[in-house]
Structure 1
Amino acid sequence: MTPVSYHRAGSAADAIRLGALDGHRLLGGGTNLVDLMRKGVEQPAALVDVSGLSMLIKESADGSLVIGAAARNAAVAAHPLVRTRYPMLARAILGGASAQIRNMATVGGNLLQRTRCVYFVDPAGSKCNKRVPGSGCDARGGFTRYHAILGTSPSCIATNPSDMAVALAALDARLHLASAAGVRIVPLLDFHRLPGDRPDIETILAPGEVIVAIEVPLSDVALRSTYRKVRDRASYAFTLVSVAAGLTLDDDRIVDVRIALGGVAAKPWRALRAEAALRGGPATADAFTRAAEAEFADAAPLQGNAFKVPLATRTLAAVLTELSGARA
């Protein structure tokens, strides 16, 4: 057994200082990190417990929603502000994992969770560039049902597993990242990286930097929004395709639209091409289908996940049709 030391951070400053030390990993609810330690994927020398940091969920002076990074997923989904103003976020959280895991998992940990690619979590038998850079990718040529079709590279085709992050991407959320140098605020869309030739570098988080809060701007689009997750079974299953979408309408014209997709890329995928095609146009089923097809025009599926292109296209069109009340 490999010995692991344990430290409890009493403040963000403690978390920053301890987290910067070599071999130290931050521990929130442990729902992802502990699993990876059991499988031998993660082998930290020390764990820094940050579950005692801010769990606050509040409205800021400008109307934005601010969520402390240690807030539990279940608490966020149940909060009245989230349920009434950001329904897509509440539904995305409730679509993830199980009630027991949602009660333990933290918001910050959710955004930092690592892929569930079966080759990544098999250090004894599989090559994985995300786990060991330069070792190869056994997913290519393997079982690819759950793998990415957008933003892939020759080095990696793994997907990001977070449901919450997909909704936050559609909501233009911003992350507050603290370090010894101070706090910087970055768009969630810029936080996760596409694999390129370094799939082991998954986010822009710098050494010694800690997520301390998530800020979600107030928006009309969020009020008319939803999240739909397509999976192989009704509960406790990871995403094949998911859609977070919101609309504002003026009669049958689309004033604004926000769309993000899950299960299709290494990061929450903002459907900017589909949004541009729809904004200012008619809210019709045909328009939604054409926009969805445009979004996936550059998809690069493999034999085992080619079904995701038509599945995602139909799901996106169906979600927008439902939100708008357009005739199917």
Structure 2
Amino acid sequence: MKKIAVLTSGGDSQGMNSAIRAVVRTGLSNGFEMFGVRKGFKGLMNNDFIKLGSKEVSDILYRGGTFLQSARSEAFKTPEGQAKAIEHLKNKGIDYVVVIGGDGSYRGAQALQRQGIKTYGLPGTIDNDIPLTDYTIGFDTTLNVVTDAIGNLRDTMSSHERVSVIEAMGRNCGDIALQAGIASGVDAIIIPEVKADINKIAADLKAGFERGKSHSMVIVAEGAGKAEDIAKEIKTLSGLDTRPTVLGHIQRGGTPSVFDRVFTSRMGHEVIDLIKQDIVGVALGIESNKITYHTFDEIFATENKINDHLYQVFQDLI
């Protein structure tokens, strides 16, 4: 009987539990023995495995976070750490490892693959910064969380005739800010992929208030600057009452959206099909609503870019 281990690594994202459930239950349906690894690559080095049956993954479909927990591990990046992890996998007779995480997690999976462990990646990150997939696990849910937060802030900003500068997550990728900004009808979007003209933004905001607007909303991706600094600059340039809000880790929480539940269920099912075909060393994603896969080498050789057309859509709508 083939044995499969699944782990979650790096920052958590809504839908990771749904992905674990899909991998485990599809694997069990195909006669595989399933294991979970607690706390990511750290757990792999510490021999922290648990056997997973259908019962162990019940009632997790709609829960955010990851019940296997996650951790970052500098030790795993070393040859000694990887050797320890591989020793534990071989001692348990585990044939395949499914890694759910972002860029760093994929690099860990690639390192195992190069040393003879058959690995697979599922894109678990809210940032949407993995190439060769239109969406990553948790991104859609995070867009809804951020959009709801902007709506709540708009109510209080209108009451006091203020400008709100909202800082969204995303590291060096502006997708959360861009898509949540479009969905929320904000007045300005500041992302790392496009150089911002803060003087023009301040002037446009001031002109809006002079036309009778009662509030304005600006969203900034964390990789493009801090909300506090940008709010101060806008206030200095425009004289408007400007307040910063950092949404922080609230963006990682909440029950996964329908899209994220279905998306992860499809990927979890597909990865077992790839295992049955012995197609190894690949990461899955979604492109034009089709579940696809690419080698880790292909993914790392591809630059992740912002959707220029979507940014132009925003520019034409403001």
TM-score with structure 2 setting the length: 0.25
With CA pairs under 8 Å and 6+ residues apart, which has the higher RCO, 1 or 2?
2
Specify the structure having the higher radius of gyration (Cα): 2
TM-score with structure 1 setting the length: 0.24
